[in-house]
Every structure is written in structure tokens, then in C-alpha cells.
Amino acid sequence: MKPINVGLLGIGTVGGGTFSVLRRNGEEIARRAGRPIRISIVADRNPDRAHRLTAGTCRVTDDAFAVVGDPEVDIVVELIGGYGVARELVLQAIANGKHVVTANKALLAKHGNEIFAAARDKGVMVAFEAAVAGGIPIIKALREGLTANRIEWIAGIINGTTNFILSEMRDKGLSFAAVLQEAQRLGYAEADPTFDVEGVDAAHKLSIMSAIAFGNAMNFDKAHIEGISQLDAADIRYAEQLGYRIKLLGITKRTAEGVELRVHPTLIPAKRLIANVEGAMNAVLVKGDAVGATLYYGKGAGAEPTASAVIADLVDVTRMHTADPEHRVPHLAFQPDAMVDLAILPISAVVSSYYLRLRVEDRPGVLADVTRILADSGISIVAMIQREPGEGEEQTDIIMLTHKTREREVDTAIAGIESLAAVRGRIIRLRLEELL
């Protein structure tokens, strides 16, 4: 049978992995897809490298637009990243009637609504399993495996760099800055790690999963995003004493008031499986009303794990290549005319439990003042640690865990507590999720 011809945009880490896995497992992949899948042309800014990697097995160019306009290409695989030229290339490929496979979570989070609408108009597919959690098939699970369920919430460790840093901070008691430097040396963190450590990368991925889970539009611009760069090693130690671990989580929940869409450091009970995901690994916990909680774990990045997801998309597109567009799996799981416009809640409206750390003067009456202010805001305490001050110390730490309350009430209480003369510096506030 005639092969499906693929145009590959970018043969860097993931592109090289895709080329390698497709060549190594080509026969097995063809048996699953029903016909051979071959990369017929590669576009890369470094054509010499592309020639070396492909060893004369396909055409090579430095003009990506030539690939999306090539009449022989059936599927365009976009692996160049970013959302400038990548957007232009994807939209042009769609306009030319080509299916698209992409690993570009930033592109989809920012421009997914536009891209999916264009693909529907042209009757082509946009597949993006590799855009979220690398080799973990979480998009297929949400779009197809859990279709019977009303998804209640998703909580995911979806950035390996931050999970590696937090694991090392906990294991070795080191500061964020020290572990970041080590992560950069080992290649887990970029020279400019901002997108990772400030939570932006996780928010891109969370926005995609949230849209699929709830049939909503992409809402990355409304996500609440906090990273880990300000996290203190002391809070990791105190959390451990209280039976919790701190992870950077992407959380999206459906509530009666709207959808929560938030990324931030989160305390999780240490007995939860997801709390024990260490190093650069990823994990996504999905709660459905019928199936309950399901956990998806694996490598969230890397050449071949991500290539695995890219090629799975290539196989899906190949299988459905000639199918009536009306009978394909919708891009965001729900039929286009059944999509909804759910409000994204501001962080002030979110209900959660909280970890609070206060630095206070070691004198009588301070704790009573603090608990009075919390009570005035309707906030009750579940657990507390008061560190014994060392010899000669005049200040100490008080750590509290609260029952569930609305964030705006916590804001009010924190403002009141910080105004007390006995309280030194700002109060550290972290959210806590039981994930039941």
C-alpha cells in the first residue's frame, strides 16, 4: 500500500527521536497503521545536521514553508516550538489540506482555538499527544478512554524540571538556587529556566487538558500561575513533619461556579501515589465520576518518550486519513457545536486548605492574637507546629494547616496577621490538596 508521506519540521531532540524510532520500528508501526509511514522531507535551520541524521533517506531543506506547501506531503509534524513562525506554518499546512501533528503546547495553549477552527473548516486533523506529559498518553485517555465520565478534576505533575528540583530540595535539604544550578549542569533545566520554574510550561499543558476535560475553550490567559523560585527549603521540611510533600501541581476543577485553572506549589499527603513521583518524572491524576481516580505516570520529556507520542499521533492520523471528518474523534473530545463557555474562576474564589508559616516574636499572647484573626475570617486550624526557639533566639516559626476556606478569606486574614507588631516579615502561604 502507498506510504503516508510525512514532512518533519525540526530535527532537534524530539525530531531526531521521531526519525530514529520510526526507522527502527517502522515495520511494527506499519502493521498497526495499516500502511507504511515514512518521513519524505525534513526542514531544519541546520541542513548539514539534518543530512547527517537522515543519511540520505529523505529530502532535506532549510525552508519550512516549502514542506507545508509540498504536494507529496500528507502529514506535517511541527517540532520547532514557539508560537510565532510555528503558528504560521501550522495554519498554512491546514490551509493546504494537510493534517498536522505537533508537540507544541505553547502554540496550542495560545492559539489552539484558532487552529482547531481552521482544521475543522478544512476537514483535517490536528493531533497533539506529545504536547502534554511527553510519552504519557494522557490526551488519548482524556479524549477517548474516559469518555463515559464526567471529569471532576485533574491534578498533574507536568513539568519534570520543577519536580527534579523539588525532589532534590527535599532529599538534600538544599536551597532552590543550589538545586537549580545542579539541574542546569545535568541538563534538566535550560540556561534560562523561567518558563519551567515559574510555572508557565505547566500552565500551557494544564490549559490543554482542562479544555478536553470540560469541553471548554483554551483559557491559558486566565490561568493562575505561581512557580517554585520563591519556595524555601524550610517549608519543604515543615511539610514533611506534618506528613505532606510539596509538588508543583497543575490543577483544574469543575465547580458550580466555574472552572478552576491554577498552577502552584501544593502540599499533598505523603501517602498519595502522586506525592511519591520523584526526579524528572511526570504524573497526572484524573478523577471521573464513574471510574474514580486514575493515575498516569511516566517520562514527561526526552527524545524517544516524546517521539513515542508523536508517532502514536501519526498512526492515528494514518488510520483516519480517509475517514469522513464528521466521524473522527473531535480535537477537544466534545463535538464542536457542544462546546461550552464555562467561566474561569479567579484565584480569590478558589476553595482550598492552606499551609501558613509565620515568623513571630517569642512572647505570650501572640498565638492567641493570630487565632483570633483567623477565627474572625471563619478559618479553623487542623494542625499546628510551633518551633522551639534556640538559645538566645527571640523569634520562632509557627506553622498552621487550615480547613478548607475561600482564598479571599485567607487574604484578609493574612493582611490582619501581618499587621500585628509581633509578626516579622511576610506570611508564607501554600495551598493544600487532599486529592481524594
Residues belonging to the active site: 205
d(C-alpha 390, C-alpha 384), whole Å:
19
Cα of 172 vs its chain's centroid, Å: 25
**Phi (first) and psi of residue 342, to 5 degrees:** -80, 140
DSSP-assigned beta bridge partners for residue 5: 38
- Please name the residues in contact with 137: beta carbons below 8 A apart, sequence gap of 6 or more: 129, 296, 309, 312
Q: What single-letter amino acid sits at 422?
A: A
**Of 6, 8, 5, the residue nearest 16 (C-alpha):** 8
Cell numbers that stand for 304 in this block: 524517544
d(C-alpha 103, C-alpha 38), whole Å:
18
Which stretches does DSSP call E strand in 238-370?
Answer: 244-255, 258-269, 281-288, 292-299, 351-361
Kindly list the strands in the beta sheet with 126-127, ordered across the sheet, starting from the edge strand earlier in the chain: 59-61, 37-43, 4-9, 75-78, 99-102, 126-127
CB 384 within 8 A of CB 366: no
Cα of 337 vs its chain's centroid, Å: 27
